[in-house]
């Protein structure tokens, strides 16, 4: 006798429960965080010797030109707060620092906001610098602020798990600590409240002096984030099991899940528009479009390799048509998991080829990071396990590697993170382990 299928009302209730009770795609959002922060960090490091010519006082796009443009488009950039070289160096250093700290997941919520400020400040100062990947980074920096991208593979997640073990009175290996297994007091976090106070002071000054750009949405977003983080900290500290705590969790989960959908739609829109515009070009129609960039000297970091590829008319035609087909077809393959995974591998290889042949590594890294939102969870979990194993093998001779925890401890740690609602900050009912901005 077959089991009756649930009715539409029950399926709807399950769907609502799923999107409100948990943050979906924790591994995908972590890969996006790591990918885009690493891309921008490497870009800033590469341009460190040329930073003054790109965004600073010696930029071809002069201060008065940038001031005139920003007065028209109402863009936000902290570099227009002062024309001094010292202020430029501070902003550039903070952009570097925020990218590095977001990469490792230290106080992810605060660093995602600082990362967004750094990206917007530099890119809006000189909008003509970049290779196309900067537009993707620009958008994703805004989206990351609304995601809970530090649930896994972050220092915040490790701190949350450590706080949970301390609250239970166990060490990293799951062994009891103290007399008769007594627990140690959970360590408090000072950096979170300090970041919250510092950000609030800067935000208040920028609002009073009208230095948040001419748009309405950005100041509103900043104030919502700042007050929301303060409310989150207060509720977690004084009423961790109350209805307001549950409500905040639901709001955060909805924002995270909705943002993931927007990121997916953005990636599909990028590929579909690129593919359909290519179809309209005569060089793409006759299969010769790839030949021309291979003959441009500023797009050929390896001239010999480019000449070998350009000398084969069949290969040029195949790659030209394959590029169009893959970009146009990808959004439609989302309905079939296997086909989607195959085309995902093809597109990642395509971007790797663009980085190698055309000398656009940061554009390719940005697009690969955006593609990561569609990577299967099983593959990402396997990849994380291989990375953890490699780290243990690398540091085995340098110190003691903590022993594996049993299944019960692992489930308890996962349950504590779920109860906290976010891996970005340790949120336990024990009191001292709360963070304000994390």
DSSP calls for 265-281 = HHHHHHHHHHHHHHHTS
When mean pLDDT is compared across 71-75, 236-240, 396-400, 403-407, the lowest value belongs to 403-407
pLDDT digits (tens, 9 = 90+) for 154-183: 999 998 888 888 777 655 555 554 443 333
**Banded pLDDT at 426 (limits 50, 70, 90):** very low
pLDDT digits (tens, 9 = 90+) for 365-406: 999 999 999 999 999 999 999 988 888 888 875 555 444 444
pLDDT for 149 beyond 70: yes
pLDDT of the residue at 411:
40
pLDDT of the residue at 240:
83
pLDDT of the residue at 335:
87
Among candidate residues 214, 175, 199, the one with its CA nearest the CA of residue 73: 214
pLDDT of the residue at 44:
95
Cα separation of 407 and 420, whole Å?
Answer: 20
pLDDT of the residue at 434:
31
Main-chain dihedrals φ then ψ at residue 128, nearest 5 degrees: -95, 5
* Residues 32/259, Cβ–Cβ less than 8 Å: no
Percentage above 70 pLDDT, the chain: 84
pLDDT of the residue at 364:
94
- In the chain, the N- to C-terminal Cα span, in Å, equals 52
Supply angle C-alpha 268, 274, 275, rounded to 5.
Answer: 90
Mean pLDDT (the chain, rounded):
84
């Amino acid at each position: 006798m077959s089991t009756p299928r649930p009715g539409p009302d029950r399926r709807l209730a399950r769907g609502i429960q799923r999107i409100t009770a948990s943050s979906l795609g924790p591994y995908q959002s972590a890969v996006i965080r790591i990918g885009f922060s690493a891309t921008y960090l490497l870009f800033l490091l590469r341009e460190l010797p040329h930073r003054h010519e790109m965004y600073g006082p010696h930029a071809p796009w002069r201060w008065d030109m940038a001031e005139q443009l920003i007065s028209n488009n109402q863009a936000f950039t902290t570099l227009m707060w002062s024309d001094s070289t010292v202020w430029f160096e501070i902003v550039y250093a903070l952009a570097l620092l925020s990218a590095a700290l977001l990469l490792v997941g230290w106080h992810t919520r605060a660093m995602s906001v600082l990362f967004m400020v750094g990206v917007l400040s530099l890119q809006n100062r000189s909008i003509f610098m970049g290779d196309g990947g900067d537009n993707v980074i620009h958008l994703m920096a805004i989206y990351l602020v609304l995601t809970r991208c530090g649930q896994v593979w972050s220092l915040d997640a490790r701190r949350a798990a450590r706080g949970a073990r301390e609250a239970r009175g166990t060490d990293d290996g799951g062994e009891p600590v103290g007399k008769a297994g007594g627990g140690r007091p959970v360590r408090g976090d000072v950096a979170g409240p300090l970041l919250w106070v510092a950000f609030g002071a800067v935000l208040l000054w920028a609002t009073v002096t009208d230095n948040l750009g001419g748009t309405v949405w950005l100041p509103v977003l900043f104030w919502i984030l700042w007050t929301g983080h303060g409310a989150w900290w207060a509720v977690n500290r004084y009423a961790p099991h109350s209805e307001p705590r549950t409500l905040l969790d639901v709001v955060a989960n909805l924002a995270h899940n909705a943002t993931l959908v927007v990121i997916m739609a953005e990636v599909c829109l990028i590929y579909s528009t690129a593919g359909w515009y290519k179809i309209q070009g005569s060089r793409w129609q006759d299969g010769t479009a790839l030949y021309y960039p291979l003959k441009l000297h500023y797009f050929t970091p390896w001239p010999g390799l480019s000449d070998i590829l350009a000398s084969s008319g069949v290969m040029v035609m195949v790659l030209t048509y394959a590029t169009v087909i893959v970009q146009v077809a990808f959004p439609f393959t989302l309905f079939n998991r296997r086909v989607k995974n195959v085309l995902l591998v093809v597109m990642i290889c395509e971007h790797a080829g663009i980085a190698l042949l055309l000398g656009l590594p940061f554009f390719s890294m940005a697009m690969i990071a955006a593609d990561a939102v569609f990577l299967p969870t099983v593959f990402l979990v396997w990849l994380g396990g291989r990375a953890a194993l490699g780290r243990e093998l690398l540091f085995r001779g340098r110190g003691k590697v903590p022993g594996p925890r049993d299944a019960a401890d692992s489930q308890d740690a996962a349950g504590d993170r779920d109860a906290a609602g976010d891996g970005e900050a340790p949120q336990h009912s024990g009191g001292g382990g709360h963070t304000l901005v994390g």
